[in-house]
Amino acid sequence: MITDDIKINVTAGHGGKGSVAFQGVKKSLGPTGGSGGAGGNAVLMGVSDLTALNQLRGMGETVVEDGNDGQPQFHDGRAGKDLILNVPVGTVIHNLDTGEKQEIIKVDERVVVAKGGKGGRGNFLFRSSRNTSPEQFQPGLPGEEVHLRLELKFIADVGLIGYPNVGKSSLLNELTRANSKVANYHFTTLEPNLGVYYELILADIPGLIEGASEGRGLGIKFLRHIERTKVLFHLVSAEAEDPAKDYRAIRKELAAHNKEMLKKPEYIFLSKSDMLTKSAVKEKISKLEKISKQKNSTIKSVMPLTIYDDNDVKKVEKILNLLKEEKEEKGADPVKDA
């Protein structure tokens, strides 16, 4: 199971205390107390492992290492070690205390989520012409405490959507080296799968059904993973009695999740077209084409598709190649574009 939504509480390290010490026995020989080290920070770091949040589950209250206290002889305390927590790229960090949101988009990108407390000054730093043997010092400051929700939203370029059993996973496997489970029943895919076509990332999500937004089937929580994709590949089975009706039903669920989803360019595939005669395919395609001619339609193309015909698969690859070029030209970032 991929963990894609968790809460964690982290407290950064406490700053070390400043030291009070003097040269030799006599105070008059001057202060030498070093300062305390800063407390360690809590840092989130982007990694490519999509299951990285699994490791953060059940970590409870986590406290980062404190800074060491200052020592005599001008020795400052060592700073506490930062705690680095790996999160998958595409993780949105919600600060539950402030309501702030931040995203980790790149591998190795680091975000300090809780800053360690400052170390206190030792008495050496309190010396002055008026007070040559100060007894003052500062205690270190406490580290920041944060309550975070970490929500993974895949950074995919293409989202595969449709009813269950329409061949989404089969297509993903055909186009990429993904090994998404395929079977002839509904809800074979229980959690999202990603595949890579050159530099494009394709996301295959569990099938949607009418009422998914009200919790039917597997629900629509997976839609967040394709919220930021540039385009949608919408598969409607040739076996559907009324493909236009199926198409609209899925669009309704998309809208229920987020109306912005309806603005994405869409490529429609009448999947499993090998199951029908040529004329029946034509008829169903024309029904879908009618929709594509409506005002405000974001449909780019409608085509029949069977994964058993190499030519069909090549046509899909052609679309992907165009998207790939577009992405290269723009240096497009699917996240920023969304």
The two tokens of residue 24 are 């030799």
Among Mg ion, ligand GTP, none, the one that 271 touches (CB under a kind-dependent 5 to 8 A) is: ligand GTP
Helix residue spans in the chain (DSSP H): 168-175, 243-257, 278-292, 310-330, 334-337
User: Per the structure block, which two tokens stand in for 83?
Assistant: 């705690």
Do the beta carbons of residue 231 and residue 157 sit within 8 Å? yes
Report the residue number, 146 or 250, with the smaller CB distance to ligand GTP: 250
Interface with ligand GTP (CB under 6 A), residue from 168, 225, 234, 264 = 168
Cβ–Cβ under 8 Å, residues 34 and 70: yes
Which residues share a beta bridge with 83? Answer: 42
Of 81-89, 94-102, 187-195, 260-268, the window that binds ligand GTP (rule: CB under 6 A) is 187-195
Query: Using the rule CB under 6 A, is 186 a contact of ligand GTP?
Result: yes
Closest CA to 123 of 108, 138, 111: 138
Q: Which amino acid is at 40?
A: G
Cα 204 from Cα 270, distance rounded (Å): 17
SS3 150: strand
For residue 134, the partner it binds in Mg ion, ligand GTP, none, with Cβ less than 5 to 8 A by kind, is none
Residue 206 in contact with ligand GTP, rule: CB under 6 A: yes
274 or 317, CB closer to ligand GTP?
Answer: 274
Q: Which is nearer to ligand GTP, 159 or 206 (CB)?
A: 206
- Interaction mask 259-288, ligand GTP, x per CB under 6 A: ------------xx-xx-------------
Give least dist CB 204 to Mg ion, A. 6
In contact, 50 and 152? CB cutoff 8 Å:
yes
Helix pair 243-257, 278-292: axis angle to 10 deg: 40
Residue found by looking up tokens 């199971």 in the block = 1
Of 52-60, 115-123, 132-140, 178-186, the segment contacting ligand GTP by CB under 6 A is: 178-186
- Shorter beta-carbon distance to ligand GTP: residue 19 or 169: 169
Which stretch in 69-77, 121-129, 304-312, 318-326 sits in contact with ligand GTP by CB under 6 A?
304-312
Distance CA 182, CA 188 (A): 6
Indicate the DSSP class of residue 185: S
**Cα–Cα distances in Å, from 129 out to 30, 132, 279?**
11, 6, 99
Q: Which of 112, 183, 280, 322 binds ligand GTP (CB under 6 A)?
A: 183
Q: Does 170 bind ligand GTP (CB under 6 A)?
A: yes
Q: Is 169 one of the binding residues for ligand GTP (CB under 6 A)?
A: yes
Judged by beta carbon, residue 80 or residue 217, the one nearer Mg ion is 217
Q: How many residues belong to the site for ligand GTP (CB under 6 A)?
A: 23
The binder of ligand GTP chosen from 187, 216, 297, 325 (CB under 6 A): 187
Find the shortest distance in angstroms from Cβ 180 to Mg ion: 6
Residue 218 touches ligand GTP, criterion: CB under 6 A? no
Q: Which amino acid is at 74?
A: F
Task: Give the contacts of 95 (CB within 8 A, at least 6 positions apart).
Answer: 101, 102, 113, 146, 147, 148
| CB of 80 vs Mg ion, minimal distance in Å | 46
Residues that bind ligand GTP (CB under 6 A): 164-170, 182-184, 186-189, 206-207, 271-272, 274-275, 306-308
